[in-house]
């Protein structure tokens, strides 16, 4: 079964707080890709990061960091020192060999960052 | 330059009408998609084409018909529009094989907001 769960529907933080968005996935494949996308209020979907299943190194990009743990099937996303511009819906996604590397998305987590 | 472009961006139409959304990508990718995002923000794949060949066709009503004249274009035609078709439709592309592979990374267009009244 191919599934992505983002249990947090909405998160509200105050600017400069750190926030972690959770993502848990299910797949039977050993080769797969995980992604995070950002959808700001303007509506476009912006690619943030891709990880393949053989690379468990955590990644940091500025205030963004990602923690990939195969043991718990999780790919969590942390924003450090959040800013109002981080307010958006964030989607975690999984692409595996089910149905020819179809990419499915979690339900999204809406992040509100208040000034 | 816009990598994945789709038109129109906004479309308001009456029930029963037929409408089309056009999509073009200039990334040289070999795979294109249509995704539907409903009012609750849930993103669901509808179709996928690889080099003009349909490879993914999810449970979508027959009223929706994709057409790919070449690998840079994937249009979506919708017949007999219904209220429930109101959504945002995203076109996307990826390069899944070869030296230019994007590793299944999907790049999205800006979305087409369809409202059926």
Q: What does the pLDDT look like over A37-54, one tens digit per residue?
A: 999 999 999 999 999 898
Taking the C-alpha atoms of residue B70 and residue A98, their distance in angstroms, rounded to an integer, is 25
pLDDT-derived band at B97 (thresholds 50, 70, 90) equals low
Helix-, strand-, coil-residue percentages of chain A, each rounded to 5:
5, 50, 45
Can you give the three-state secondary structure of B79-101, one letter per residue? CCCCHHHCEEEEEEEECCCCCCC
Tell me the three state secondary structure of residue B22: strand
Instruction: Tell me the count of A-B CB pairs closer than 8 A.
Output: 54
Strand-pair partners of A66: A59, A77
Phi, psi (deg, nearest 5) at residue B116: -105, 125
Which residue is listed with tokens 């795979």?
Answer: B31
* Averaged pLDDT for residues A7-22: 97
> Is B25 an 8 Å CB contact of chain A?
no
Which chain A residue lies closest to B96 (C-alpha atoms)?
A101
Residue B42 and residue A33: Cβ atoms within 8 Å?
Answer: no
Residue A102 and residue B88: Cβ atoms within 8 Å?
Answer: no
Percent of chain A at pLDDT exceeding 70:
96
Name the residue among B64, B66, B71 with its Cα closest to residue B4: B71
Which residues of A1-115 form beta strands (DSSP E)? 3-5, 10-14, 19-21, 24-26, 33-39, 46-52, 59-61, 64-69, 74-79, 88-95, 103-105, 109-114
Taking the C-alpha atoms of residue B67 and residue B54, their distance in angstroms, rounded to an integer, is 9
Q: Is the peptide bond before A21 cis (omega within 30 degrees of 0)?
A: no
* Averaged pLDDT for residues A83-102: 87
**What is the tens place of the pLDDT at every residue in B75-90?**
999 999 999 999 999 9
Taking the C-alpha atoms of residue A38 and residue A66, their distance in angstroms, rounded to an integer, is 14
pLDDT-derived band at B56 (thresholds 50, 70, 90) equals confident
């Amino acid at each position: 079964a191919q599934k992505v769960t983002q249990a947090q529907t909405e998160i509200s933080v105050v600017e400069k707080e750190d926030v972690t968005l959770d993502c848990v996935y299910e797949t039977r494949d050993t080769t797969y890709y995980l992604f995070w996308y950002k959808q700001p209020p303007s509506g476009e979907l912006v690619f943030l990061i891709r990880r393949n299943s053989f690379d468990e190194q955590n990644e940091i990009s500025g205030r963004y960091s990602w923690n990939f743990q195969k043991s718990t099937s999780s790919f969590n996303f942390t924003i450090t020192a959040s800013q109002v511009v981080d307010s958006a819906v964030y989607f975690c996604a999984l692409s595996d060999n089910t149905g020819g590397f179809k990419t499915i998305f979690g339900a999204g987590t809406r992040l509100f960052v208040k000034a | 330059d816009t990598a994945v472009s789709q038109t129109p961006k906004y479309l308001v139409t009456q029930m029963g009408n037929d409408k089309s959304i056009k999509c073009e990508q200039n990334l040289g990718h070999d795979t294109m998609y249509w995704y539907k995002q409903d009012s609750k923000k849930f993103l669901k794949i509808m179709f996928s084409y690889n080099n003009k060949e349909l490879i993914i066709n999810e449970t979508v009503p027959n009223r929706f018909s994709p057409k790919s004249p070449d690998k840079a274009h994937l249009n979506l035609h919708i017949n007999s529009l219904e209220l429930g078709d109101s959504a945002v439709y995203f076109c996307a592309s990826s390069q899944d094989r070869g030296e230019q592979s994007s590793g299944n990374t999907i790049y999205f267009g800006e979305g087409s907001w369809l409202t059926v009244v």
